[in-house]
Amino acid sequence: MILTVTLNAAIDTTYRTDRFAPSDTNRVDLVSRQAGGKGVNVARLLHAWGQPVIATGLAGGAAGRWIAADLADRGVDVRFAAVAGESRTTTVVVDASGEATTVSERGPVVSPEEWAAFRALHRDLVGQAALVVLSGSLPRGVPATAYAQLVADARQEGVGAIVDADGPALRAALEQRPYVVKPNADELRRVTGIDDPLAAASVIGTSYGVNVVASLGARGLLLWTADAVVQASGSPLTGNPTGAGDAVVAALAAGTVRGDTLADCLRDAVALSAAAVLQDTAGTVDMDDVRRLRPGVTLTHLAAAGRAS
């Protein structure tokens, strides 16, 4: 079983329109709503792939109850911890060109007692897991060291972690040496101050002894390990890129629990990510698209990497 953690779960509302114009009236052609947050998206994708998964995290108020019910209705095993504050809503506007504009509420304020209660729940659940996925933003009140604490809890149970985070949350998590971190190019730059993704991934990998899978947008994925550097790419597609990174994480998690190497996971990761772009909402794919796109993924071995310390 894979455990996904979403500390700032949301109701994701997606608007589809032919043209989005700021400071003007915009007519919406399609509206969809579903449970969201990066870890929730990963859980939904894993479930669609037939991988046993439990979705946990923090959820509060009527919105939190709606999020849990929506996931349960889709067949996902949900074990959220309740908080007093109201969970957030995230609104994404996607135009005909595939450009996406996101307006994201900040979410509830979490008390120290609520955070302690969630950590107790996490310790219980992670002991049942083969892998834990920690992804997304942190709500107010949750410490910047939250993911570092959860990685450490997982390690005590002999469970590896994949972390998809940004800024101080990612920097703190690196200190606990998760199995994989999955930043995008901007997140790599913010953590290292280095513009070149390969150089930035190498610095993180060698400094912390972790594996790095970096999302490079239309250029695909970059894998840095202690043994190799591999770039994986497919044909660029137009659509909604909102959940593409979550699809990468889902593929990495599913492959890891199957016993695949990270390099072996890259074809599925690129194909699943591309299939997600074709969908109107994040965290959904058509598996026929995945099977169609997978043979077109190209793996390029860029260099031998120095062994991580």
Residue numbers annotated as active site: 246
CA–CA gap between residue 14 and residue 20 (Å, rounded): 13
| CA separation, residue 268 to residues 200, 234, 265 (Å) | 24, 11, 6
User: Which residue from 229, 27, 56, 217 is spatially nearest to 126, judged by alpha carbons?
Assistant: 56
CA–CA gap between residue 243 and residue 128 (Å, rounded): 27
The single residue listed with the structure tokens 């949900």 is 78
CA–CA gap between residue 171 and residue 110 (Å, rounded): 21
List 103's β-bridge partners, or say none. 91
The single residue listed with the structure tokens 């016993």 is 259
Residues with Cβ < 8 Å from 147, sequence gap 6 or more?
Answer: 134, 138, 163, 165, 169, 170, 172, 173
| 3-state DSSP assignment of residue 236 | coil
**How many Cα atoms within 13 Å fall on the side-chain side of residue 81?**
22
Structure tokens, 33: 């709503």
Structure tokens, 226: 């202690």
The single residue listed with the structure tokens 């504009």 is 101
Residues with Cβ < 8 Å from 262, sequence gap 6 or more?
Answer: 180, 211, 213, 223, 225, 252, 255, 256
Between 244-258 and 262-277, two packed helices, what is the crossing angle to 10 degrees?
Answer: 150
For residue 119, report the phi and psi dihedrals to the nearest 5 degrees: -60, -35
